[in-house]
Amino acid sequence: MSLIDRIAALETEVEKASARTADEVEQFRVSMLGRNGAVTELFDAFKQVAAEEKRILGQRLNQLKQAAHARVDALRSTMEQDGVTEGAALDLSAPALTEPTGSLHPITLVRQRIVEVFSRIGFTVSQGPEVEDDLHNFGALNFPPDHPARDMQDTFFVSGGIGPDGMALRTHTSSVQVRVMEGSTPPIRTISPGRVYRNEAISARAHCMFHQVEGLYVDKDVSFADLKGTLDHFAKSMFGPDVRIRLRPSYFPFTEPSAEVDMSCSICGGSGCNICKGSGWVEIMGCGMVDPAVLTNCDIDPTVYSGFAFGMGVERIAQLIYRVPDLRMYWENDMRFLEQFTAAPFRK
C-alpha cells in the first residue's frame, strides 16, 4: 500500500474511532500516536519518501497527526461529561441515578400515627387557629381571671395582654375543644393536633414551641370508664399490648375530675431506667371529664350530655419512641439528625 493510501485509511479510522471507557481512549491513543503507533510508523516511512513528494505528503501526515490528537481529546471529554471513571464500563442495565428524596419529620410521623389510632375508633380531626383569643384559650375553659397560666411568663401575647381583649399564641390545643363544641351538637368525637407556644427558656427539656394532640368525646352517658378504656387502647396501640396505664388525681380548670396519665415505661418495661427516673412509670398526658361549666359555656346542656377530654405532648410521645436526648434537636433542621427518621417504628 502506498503511503498516501495508508494515510487515507488511518484518516477514516481516526474519524470513526469510538470508546466506551477511559481505558479504551488510552488504547486508541497508543495505537495511533504511541512509540509503535500507526501514525508514528508513517512518520518513519515518510523518511524514505522522494524529495519531490515530501511537501504534499508531509502536510497530509501532519494533518492526520493533529486529527488523531483532536480525536483523543474529544473522546476524553465525553468520558468526563458522562461521569465514566477510569476503567468503569458503561453499564446500560444499571439503575438510573435518582435524586435523594426527603423523609417526614419525626414529629410528623408520630402525629400521623396518633391520628391513625384515634381515627380507627371514630375520632375526627379538627383544627383551630394558632393565634387565639382569651375566650377560647382561657375564658371558656374555666380559667379564673387571675389564673397563673394567663400570666405573661407563660403566654406570648400578640395584642391586648391579659384580659378578655387579649390575643395570644395558644398555650394549648384545648382551645380547639371550645371551637368544636361551639359549632356542633353532640355526639362529638374529635382529636385536635397542633402547635402550641409557651414563654419558656429553651433547653434540652423545654421549648417555647411544641405540639399537642387534644382529644374530646361528648355524648349522652360518657363515663370515666370510657375515658380510661380509650386511653388504655391508645397506649397499647402506640406502644404494644404489654403497656399499662394508671391515672393519678390532678387538677385542670376545664375538667372535673382531672387526672394525670402514666404509662408503664416502654423503655425498661417497668423495671426502672433513667427515662422513667427509676419509677417504672412515665407521664404521657392530662385528662378528665369535661367540666359542666365548660359545656355550658359552649351551649351544650350538661344535664343531658357529659364528656371526657385529654391532651398529650407529641414531643413527649416521640421521646418515648425515638429517645432523642435533647428537645432542641427536633427544630434545628440538621440533616444528619432528620435523615434518620425514614420509617416510623410503629406497630401495625
- Quote the CA–CA distance of 217 and 251 in Å, as a whole number: 19
Q: CB of 222: closest distance to ligand DAH in angstroms? A: 13
Which residue's CB is nearer to ligand DAH, number 17 or number 289? Answer: 289
**97 Cβ contact list (under 8 Å, min separation 6):** none
Residue 166 vs 286, nearer CB to ligand DAH: 286
Nearer to ligand DAH, 61 or 213 (CB): 213
Segment interacting with ligand DAH (CB under 6 A) among 15-23, 106-114, 283-291, 329-337: 283-291
333 CB-contact burial (10 Å; exposed 0-12 / middle 13-18 / buried 19+): exposed
- Distance separating alpha carbons of residues 278 and 57, to the nearest angstrom: 95
- DSSP-derived letter for residue 316 is H
311 part of the interface to ligand DAH, by CB under 6 A: yes
Q: How many CA atoms lie within 13 A of 256 on its CB side?
A: 10
CA distances from 335 to 55, 105, 120, 229, 338 (A): 68, 11, 33, 40, 5
Count of residues of this chain found to bind ligand DAH when the rule CB under 6 A is applied: 11
How far is the C-alpha of 171 from the C-alpha of 156, rounded, in Å? Answer: 8
Which window, 51-59, 187-195, 266-274, 303-311, contacts ligand DAH (CB under 6 A)? 303-311
174 forms part of the interface with ligand DAH (CB under 6 A): yes
Considering the complex, what minimum distance in angstroms separates the CB of residue 272 from ligand DAH?
Answer: 26
| Binding of ligand DAH by 230 (CB under 6 A) | no
Query: What string marks each residue from 205 to 224 as x (binds ligand DAH by CB under 6 A) or -?
Result: ---------x----------
Kindly provide the residue ranges of all beta strands, DSSP E only, lying in 222-318, ordered along the sequence. Answer: 245-252, 255-264, 281-290, 306-313
Contact between 287 and ligand DAH by CB under 6 A: the answer reads: yes
Q: How far is the CB of 217 from ligand DAH (least distance, A)?
A: 10
Q: Measured from the CB of residue 181, what is the shortest distance to ligand DAH in angstroms?
A: 12
As a whole number of angstroms, the distance between CA 248 and CA 321 comes to: 23
Q: Indicate which single residue of 281, 310, 322, 330 sits in contact with ligand DAH (rule: CB under 6 A).
A: 310
What are the Cα distances from residue 160, in Å, to 76, 132, 157, 167, 278?
71, 12, 7, 6, 45
Q: With binding defined as CB under 6 A, does residue 142 bind ligand DAH?
A: no
The torsion of the CA quartet 112, 118, 121, 124, rounded to 10 degrees, works out to -90
Judged by beta carbon, residue 64 or residue 178, the one nearer ligand DAH is 178
Q: Rule CB under 6 A: is residue 252 a binding residue for ligand DAH?
A: yes
Choosing from 265, 288, 307, 322, the residue that interacts with ligand DAH (CB under 6 A) is 288
Q: Do 33 and 76 meet the contact criterion of CB atoms below 8 Å apart? A: no
| Of residues 155 and 237, the one with the C-beta less far from ligand DAH | 155
11 or 154: CB nearest ligand DAH: 154
- Give me the residues paired with residue 213 across strands: 193, 312
Residue closest to ligand DAH, measured at CB: 311
Tell me how far, at minimum, the Cβ of 343 lies from ligand DAH, in Å.
Answer: 29
Would you state the cell numbers that stand for residue 327, as one nine-digit string? 428537645
| Burial class of 232 by CB neighbour count within 10 A (0 to 12, 13 to 18, 19+) | middle
Question: Per CB under 6 A, does 315 bind ligand DAH?
Answer: no
Q: Quick check: 172 binds ligand DAH (CB under 6 A)?
A: yes
List the one residue from 286, 320, 322, 330 that touches ligand DAH (CB under 6 A): 286
114: contact with ligand DAH by CB under 6 A: no
* Separation between Cα atoms, residue 78 and residue 40, nearest integer Å: 25
Residues that bind ligand DAH (CB under 6 A): 172, 174, 214, 252, 255, 286-288, 309-311
